[in-house]
Structure 1
């Protein structure tokens, strides 16, 4: 009778385990990281008798969580990629929304400025409008710079927040490792602690991509380069530190002493390339692959624009009768010594040609013999030099003292990133050099049909105060009267030059072909008062004795130089002469827009993959309410049946007692 009673009791106990476990599953259906649990039963060992082994009931072996390490790893990998893409995509979308604004964008301001120059003449109102347009453009560019700076600050702030979260999670994982080790000593798996640890790892993977290695029941967590975050019950602190190559940007470091040990230790700065996945990976990828390059590219457009406009304004005469000065200013290239340098040399950089500035940031490294300039983002070699000063990659580079350099020293060069923040309109209505400094005309008494262009000048030009008169001689088919001390070049292929020793020196003229003439000073730099870098175009057939005058320009109603500045909008003067400024900006905006669209599509696809793997993982570890309802009914029936067994044993025992009584 006692054996039957014990069998019933074991069944009651087993059913109770089943009911409790099922209730646990139902109540934790919405708990993040919870793995459904199942009771594992085994038949109890039989009791030997001479008639065979007497059954002794059922044993509850353990409560086992339904968990697939493979699916869990797959899901974590998908989530870390999804988190990275989502972060990257959202930030690029923010940048694109600003840069791509059709009404408040830089492209609109550039076009408006150039259009306004077409109307500049003696009218004070038109000049003031042009200067207002210049100020609007400057404000647009500085506003763009502020947007870039704001995004960079946001990246720094988000990195700090993410690192705080990483440290909290790694501390939790280390503590759970220890708790699991202690709890497992009884031989049973601490399911609740295991779930908590897996959930902590899963959350960590959304913040930063890590590798998890199981060892003796512990989760050891490390970065992609092998740097440990968790080893057993010890965690190592992650931190944000100013980047050695650019202190304005925070990067990730790891302390080599255990968190909470009280030891200061040293912080090892991790290369951004060693940090992938998760929020942190997305932040770093956005900064290095989009934010910094985009600011450098837009800065280069601003530098080129200012340089071209200033250069053209310098070829004109302003309303005060002076040679044109700068209408815009931009900061010089910035060079930053790496904080890990052992030498203390200072590097200086300037534009070799401001109209064709570099469109990226660079790193200059010194190995003790050679200087190597690399693109900061692609790592491609731009150029090398054995000594400084030297011109590499569109920059004039020099050091204050080469003996201060040590092998391994490096410098970050940001040619145009700060151009946006420091871009300024410095002109006034009267300093717009609208007039050309030269005005050529044909003589009023000419008998021939020949005409002469009004004339143009190039950089370094010089105009004498007096008028130069050219005279055509029909017998020799030549022109004379050019200023002594100059050289006249006929721009044929190849060009032909004629030194002018006196006003009687003759320069051939072919009436059938005409002539494009450039007058330069034979002595460089040109002596005061000597004509230099002045060009005119003569065409047609002059009569004998016909004259052509080349005089100083600057008339108040002349806006030829303003027109020349306006024409810059359609001149292919950017990116090696392959594109216009407005086209370059349009391509720039399109590239950011395409990147935003591609990232949005990739993020959507990765989110779908996460959902797919989540469904697979939940089919193993998730709670199914219908299944649990069936299990609950099964265990209830099991409980009732075993209670009946106990009742039967009790009845039999009572019957037996009645016989003896």
Structure 2
């Protein structure tokens, strides 16, 4: 009866463990990251009786979680991609909202040029001129506001970088502690610590959503977690923190670094929220700020150039109408020499949206963009012969040391520095500064085709000039030396250029003089209006409005792609989660069936024990009866 009793007790205990495991599964049905646990039973060694063996019961071999390393790894990868897509979509959506909000640049441009049209219609009207200045200030505010909003979004990215790094460090520490506990549990020989393993896997999944990681299982049941090109976050019971540090060129911009070594990891991080933040900053936000600045430079350059060719109500040549932020030159914090670099924009049509790095190797300077691509330069870097590349000029000075470098940001600060340079409506140069006329006694068919200003700073620009043709192919200006006239070619002097049509005859004359009717003249105002559609950028193919359209299109495209990517990654993540849960998830119906099965087994084992007890009691009664 002892064997029967022992067999019944083993079944009772096994069923009890089964019931406890099922109840644990049911209790954790809503616990994120929990893997259902299964009990493994083994039959006890049978007892030989004569020519046969009689079973002696059951042993509980293990309580293990339902788990697939492959499916969990796939889930972690999906979580990393989803985390990146969600953060990237959120940031691009914010940038899109800024561009399409109340500070829409195209609306401000349209209002400004509308006011300019009113000045062209009534050039002497003080109220029209006042409205134009107000619209110019509003346009300046729009450039500044958009730049400020971009900067605020950049500051938000900075804060999120710090918060995400702190979260990663906290999770790394927790994984390291669990590694130690799991290793100790296995070393005790008491089986698999399922709940600890689940907690670790949940943290690995969480850290995967924060940054792209590589997880490597070790022989002692710990896991090592790496980021980038092999930087360890966790190794055994040790964790290694990330940190943020100021960019070598721009202290206001944070880089992700390894806290212990200080090695910059920014370019190595691709997945998770952290990867999205870095990618958005370098591939969307910074180019958008540069493109906005490029539009500001184009607007100021083109409008100022035409305004300088006009005359204001005071009879003076038009001056600068808009100011714009200058290119920024940032020295590397590690520079050892005393070298200096100054940068200026010399060809707006060749300007790009890139930033550049100018580096000295000890004997020569070289230029590359921030992606590391080499950019060809001409010149020697002196003030008389500056380096030139992509519409920029660089002048170097001082004594640079080998390895010194400077970051050039041609347009990043341009929009922030955009403002209206004049405050007096009378200084709006709406009139043409010069008028040209043919002599009343001319006999040839020559006529004035137009006059333009080529050098507004020329001291003799507003002086009178009398052009007399000594023959159909020669002329003099104010009785000076004879000059050759080529039909179709302009006559130029004192910063102006006169075009003639037809064929002048000998003794024909033409006069050029200052415009005495500047108050009622609108010639330059009409030309200023044409700046709206003037090709300024991209070798004269892109206007200011079109440049802004390119900006909104680029950001809109990035936002659309980010939205699509998020939809795709959500689907991939849900599929990976469902597949993983199909193996590891708790199914209430299955657990209910297991509960009934273990309950019945428990009751049956109890009946075996009761039967053994009855037989033993009957035996005792027979012996003593």
- The TM-score bracket by the shorter chain reads over 0.9
1:260 is matched with none
1:308 is matched with 302
How far apart are residue 345 of structure 1 and its match? 2.3
2:388 is matched with 391
State which of 470, 488, 492 in structure 2 corresponds to 1:519: 492
Change (3 A) 1:330 1:506: closer
The SS at the match of 2:241 is: strand
Matches within 5 A, 1:46-125: 46-101=46-101, 104-120=103-119, 121-125=123-127
Gaps of 5+ in 1: 257-265, 485-500, 521-530
Does the 8 Å contact 2:468/2:477 carry over to 1?
A: no
How far apart are residue 340 of structure 1 and its match? 2.6
How far apart are residue 453 of structure 1 and its match? 3.4
Change (3 A) 1:385 1:480: closer
1:164 is matched with 166
Deviation string for 1:344-382 (max 9, x for gaps)? Answer: 423221112356533221112222233222221x33222
Does the 8 Å contact 1:304/1:357 carry over to 2?
A: no
Distance 2:421 2:554 in 1: 31
Does the 8 Å contact 2:349/2:538 carry over to 1?
A: no
1:214 is matched with 217
The SS at the match of 2:263 is: strand
1:3 is matched with 3
User: Does 2:415 align with 1:420?
Assistant: yes
The SS at the match of 1:419 is: coil
The SS at the match of 2:234 is: strand
Deviation string for 1:556-604 (max 9, x for gaps)? Answer: 1112112211111111121111222211211221121111111111111
Does the 8 Å contact 1:100/1:593 carry over to 2?
A: no
User: Does 2:204 align with 1:201?
Assistant: yes
User: Does 2:403 align with 1:408?
Assistant: yes
The SS at the match of 1:222 is: strand
State which of 592, 609, 622 in structure 2 corresponds to 1:629: 592
Does the 8 Å contact 1:111/1:582 carry over to 2?
A: no
Distance 2:88 2:81 in 1: 11
State which of 167, 188, 193 in structure 2 corresponds to 1:190: 193
How far apart are residue 51 of structure 1 and its match? 4.7
How far apart are residue 441 of structure 1 and its match? 1.7
Does the 8 Å contact 1:440/1:453 carry over to 2?
A: no
Change (3 A) 1:227 1:2: same
After TM superposition, the score normalised by the length of structure 2 is 0.94
The SS at the match of 2:259 is: strand
User: Does 2:557 align with 1:594?
Assistant: yes
How far apart are residue 447 of structure 1 and its match? 5.9
The SS at the match of 1:211 is: strand
Change (3 A) 1:42 1:542: same
The SS at the match of 1:267 is: coil
Does the 8 Å contact 2:433/2:462 carry over to 1?
A: no
How far apart are residue 137 of structure 1 and its match? 0.6
User: Does 2:321 align with 1:348?
Assistant: no
State which of 127, 148, 157 in structure 2 corresponds to 1:155: 157
The SS at the match of 2:11 is: helix
Counting matched residue pairs gives 612
Matches within 5 A, 1:554-565: 555-565=518-528
Distance 2:390 2:536 in 1: 17
How far apart are residue 222 of structure 1 and its match? 1.3
Please report the RMSD computed on the Cα atoms of aligned residues, expressed in angstroms.
2.0
Change (3 A) 1:342 1:479: closer
Change (3 A) 1:355 1:426: farther
State which of 438, 455, 458 in structure 1 corresponds to 2:454: 458
Matches within 5 A, 1:16-27: 16-27=16-27
State which of 379, 383, 386 in structure 1 corresponds to 2:372: 379
Does the 8 Å contact 1:122/1:557 carry over to 2?
A: yes
Change (3 A) 1:478 1:343: closer
Most deviating of 388-397 and 9-18: 388-397
State which of 237, 244, 266 in structure 2 corresponds to 1:240: 244
State which of 485, 495, 499 in structure 2 corresponds to 1:537: 499
The SS at the match of 1:455 is: strand
2:12 is matched with 12
1:140 is matched with 142
How far apart are residue 457 of structure 1 and its match? 1.0
Change (3 A) 1:82 1:518: farther
Most deviating of 129-138 and 308-317: 308-317
How far apart are residue 450 of structure 1 and its match? 4.2
Change (3 A) 1:83 1:465: closer
Deviation string for 1:41-79 (max 9, x for gaps)? Answer: 000112344454332100001101011000111111111
Deviation string for 1:420-446 (max 9, x for gaps)? Answer: 222111212122111122101233455
1:568 is matched with 531
